[in-house]
Amino acid sequence: MNIIWARSIASLLLLAALAAVIALVTSSVRLGLIFAVLLLVANTLFNTFHTQRLWRLLDAPVYGEVPSAPGVWGEIYYRLHKLAKRWHAQVRQVEHQHSRFIQAMQASPYGVVMLDDSNQIEWCNAISEQHFGIDARRDLRQQITHLVRQPDFVRYLHANQYDEELRMRGMGGKRQNVLSVQVVPYGDHRKLLLTQDITELERIDSMRRDFVANVSHELKTPLTVLSGFLETMRELSLSEEDRIRYLDIMQQQAGRMQYLVSDLLVLAKLEGDTRPPHDTPVDMRAVLRHVDDDLRVLSGGAHQIVFESDDRVTVMGSEAEITSALGNLVGNAVRYTPAGGKISVRWQALDDGALFSVTDTGVGIPAEHIPRLTERFYRVDGSRSRDTGGTGLGLAIVKHVLQRHEAQLVVTSEEGRGSEFSVKFPLHRTQRLAGAAAGADSTA
């Protein structure tokens, strides 16, 4: 017997005992019966009141509002309060888990769209809104194919074959954007639509393909020349003069391949180690002398050269890398400046760092090509670049060297009037030298 039955029977026995006591005291059975009836009526009214009270409470429950009452009704209210408290804790736990799940989905770098069995949107995160150009509140319960109408997507969604992903171009309001879309069925004919922006991956993959094609092309030409001359020298009787000329050409082509392989190795090393080099002071005077010597040798007296250097400032980093980067910049200036043109080189201290600049009066660069100059093998004019003897890797090497030294490359150019390549080193990458000369100029 539970406590409810026990208390109910105890209440009835108590009422009967009271009626019997009154009958004995008054020596009137009739009076005892009347008193017993009154007690039963009062008990009935009490139970009816609390029954109605409980009904209202169950009809419109408010958490925490539990009435008090004596006897069995107090026990009922107490048990009801404990039950409501436990259910409330469970609901809060589920809400907390749901909130954490939503936060995780919102933080995901992937777009997530939940579709019902009719392909209507049940929920989506912020990334998917950007990918598909939809609104989570406005487009709730809308057919996804009414909002994303690309034929490839519609066919993919209705084909019910989701083993492979779908690649969609021109999404997110940008013509060049590429999305990877994958559908994952779950539950009762529902679908989870996952998206990822793979524009950068596509670009890198395209660069990889171009890189392989360009390396193959760059090596194919000198190898073809070497193979042809070797076959000629083996099968034909040549004069000493022709033999020497052929050997010179072969050596020239072998040197071209050697330069290409050397630049590839340097670039691979730089790309494999993006950490800044140790903060070792560079002998900038030696670097600038080396750059000046290379500039004059490459020019061969064909250009007017102005070289200005400020010996009061140097940089912290790798001397070999700095020499390579600055040497590539002046080498490009010589290659693309016609004979008789002017090349100006300046190294100067700034209040917020140091600046190396190379200005020429060469052919210039069209504005649309400037953002891609530091890509491997990118050529504004492929035939002219090969004629000048470049490997197509110089500015890519410059880019990675400057990244390691936290420096910035700025290119300004006007087609037909020349270009300026400026390298700015930040203040924390420079060091002022005490007792150095204010500056040194040389003109040739």
CATH of the domain at 216: 1.10.287.130
Q: Among the three residues 149, 174, 197, which one is the final residue of a domain in this structure?
A: 197
Same domain, 123 and 94: no
d(CA 149, CA 22): 89
Which of these three, 248, 272, 296, is where a domain ends?
A: 272
CA 7 – CA 339 distance, rounded (Å) = 115
- Kindly state whether residues 173 and 245 are assigned to the same domain: no
Q: The tokens of 402 are what?
A: 């400057």
* One domain, residues 88 and 116: no
Under 8 Å between Cβ of 344 and 330: no
Query: What is the pLDDT, as a whole number, of residue 409?
Result: 94
- Asked if 237 and 213 touch (Cβ cutoff 8 Å), the reply is no
pLDDT at 249: 84
pLDDT in tens, 56-65: 777 776 666 6
User: Are residue 324 and residue 405 in the same domain, yes or no?
Assistant: yes
Please count the other Cβ atoms lying within 10 Å of the Cβ belonging to residue 273.
11
Buried b (16+ CB within 10 A) or exposed e, 372-406: ebbbbbbbbeeeebbeeebbbbbbbbbbbbbbbbe
The C-alpha atoms of residue 423 and residue 72 are separated, in whole angstroms, by: 88
Q: Is residue 279 part of a domain?
A: no
Q: What pLDDT score was predicted for residue 394?
A: 81
Within a domain: 277: no
- Residues of the chain whose pLDDT is less than 50? 383-386
Looking at the fold, whether 296 and 412 belong to one and the same domain comes out as yes
Q: Which positions ≥6 away from 61 have C-beta within 8 Å?
A: 84
For residue 292, which of 261, 323, 246 has the smallest C-alpha distance?
323
Report how many domains make up the chain: 4
Which pLDDT score is estimated for 384? 47
pLDDT confidence of residue 426? 93
**DSSP track, 258-293:** HHHHHHHHHHHHHHH--SPPP-PBP-HHHHHHHHHH
pLDDT at residue 385, rounded to an integer: 47
One domain, residues 193 and 144? yes
The pLDDT, as a whole number, for residue 238 is 78
- Which H or E run includes 425? strand 418-426
Number of Cβ atoms within 10 Å of the Cβ of 423: 23
